[in-house]
């Protein structure tokens, strides 16, 4: 029996060796398949990384340009706000100057009308004063010539008429 036991032990060892060999072969095949899949995945990953690098560079450039554009926009927005405030201030000042101009224009027009009226009045008065001087000269010459009382009264009446016209103007 001893021999039988050893033979059974040999069979068991042989079965275990065959199973172990089959397992090793199975796992070696699986390892090769996994390794080739891993290498192809790693190659695809490396290719993706190589393709991604220029994209990242473009992305970083675009981000940099975007930041510069954002800063420029901010500066331009602040300048626009400042210019808008200046424009509002200038518009208010312009409205004030325009109002003052209209007031000066109104005053000028009123003064021009007064000037024209006074010039006309002065011309009339100058003409009347000249007429009065003529009448006074005639009265003086009549007085020196010894004219009659009626002639002198007529001369005085003419001077009085001119004076009344001067008062009414």
> Is the model's pLDDT at 139 over the cut of 80?
no
Q: At 147, which helix (H) or strand (E)? A: none
Count of C-beta atoms within a 10 Å radius of residue 155: 20
Q: Is the pTM of this model over 0.75?
A: no
Residue 99 is predicted with a pLDDT of 95
Number of domains in the chain: 1
Residue 37 is predicted with a pLDDT of 93
- Return the sign of the alpha-carbon dihedral for residues 91, 93, 96, 97: negative
Place of tokens 């001119």: 162
- Between helix 149-168 and helix 2-145 the angle, nearest 10°, is 170
**CA-closest candidate to residue 164, choices 142, 135, 138:** 135
Range of the domain at 57: 2-168
Residue 23 is predicted with a pLDDT of 93
């Amino acid at each position: 029996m001893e021999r039988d036991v050893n033979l059974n032990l040999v069979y068991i060892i042989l079965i275990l060796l065959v199973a172990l060999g089959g397992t090793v072969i199975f796992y070696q095949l699986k390892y090769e398949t996994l390794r080739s899949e891993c290498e192809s995945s790693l190659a695809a990953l490396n290719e993706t990384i190589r393709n991604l690098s220029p994209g990242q560079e473009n992305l970083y450039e675009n981000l940099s340009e975007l930041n510069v554009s954002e800063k420029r926009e901010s500066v331009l927005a602040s300048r626009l706000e400042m210019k808008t405030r200046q424009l509002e201030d200038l518009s208010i000042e312009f409205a004030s100057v325009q109002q003052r101009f209209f007031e000066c224009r109104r005053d000028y027009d009123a003064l021009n009308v007064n000037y024209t009226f006074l010039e006309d009045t002065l011309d009339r008065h100058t003409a009347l004063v000249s007429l009065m001087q003529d009448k006074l000269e005639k009265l003086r010459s009549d007085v020196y010539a010894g004219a009659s009382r009626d002639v002198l009264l007529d001369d005085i009446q003419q001077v009085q008429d001119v004076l009344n016209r001067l008062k009414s103007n």
